[in-house]
Amino acid sequence: MPELVETHDPEGVDYGWVMQVTFVLTILVGAPIVAVVSVGAELPTWGARAEFAIRIGAVVWILTAIPTFLYARRRASDRSEGGNEQREAAETTETTAEPAEDD
């Protein structure tokens, strides 16, 4: 049976997941921040408004992307350490098991 296209098992950090989560969190967190901060700013033209939103959005993006990446990296290292411990336990069990005696 062929493996489904949607499934994958990334080694290390899943950068696709990091990008998706960063995108969603930036919109959810960034839109209200831009709206609140823009109340005190004078933005006479659409160009000034767009430039303002891009500048604030870039800061929100980087402040969202870094913790998201660090979380994914920690999660990936936890998974790999857990896998190594399970492999080591299996190897230890195999080497310490007594050989079966033939009658």
Could you tell me if residue 2 is inside a domain? no
CA distances from 22 to 33, 52, 56, 61, 88 (A): 16, 20, 15, 7, 35
Could you tell me if residue 45 is inside a domain? yes
Q: How far apart are CA 8 and CA 38, in angstroms?
A: 42
Q: What is the mean pLDDT of the chain?
A: 82
Whole-number pLDDT of residue 36: 93
Could you tell me if residue 97 is inside a domain? no
Q: Encode 83-100: b = buried (16+ Cβ within 10 Å), e = exposed.
A: eeeeeeeeeeeeeeeeee
Could you tell me if residue 23 is inside a domain? yes
- Could you give the number of structural domains in the chain? 1
Q: pTM score, two decimals?
A: 0.64
Q: What is the mean pLDDT of residues 76-87?
A: 70
> What confidence tier does 71 reach under pLDDT thresholds 50, 70, 90?
very high
**What is the domain range of residue 67?**
15-92
Instruction: Reply yes or no on whether the pLDDT at 7 is more than 80.
Output: no
Could you tell me if residue 100 is inside a domain? no
More confident residue, 24 or 13: 24
Could you tell me if residue 74 is inside a domain? yes
Could you tell me if residue 98 is inside a domain? no
Q: What is the mean pLDDT of residues 54-58?
A: 93
DSSP H helices in the chain: 15-38, 46-96
Whole-number pLDDT of residue 23: 95
> What confidence tier does 101 reach under pLDDT thresholds 50, 70, 90?
low
Instruction: Reply yes or no on whether the pLDDT at 75 is more than 70.
Output: yes
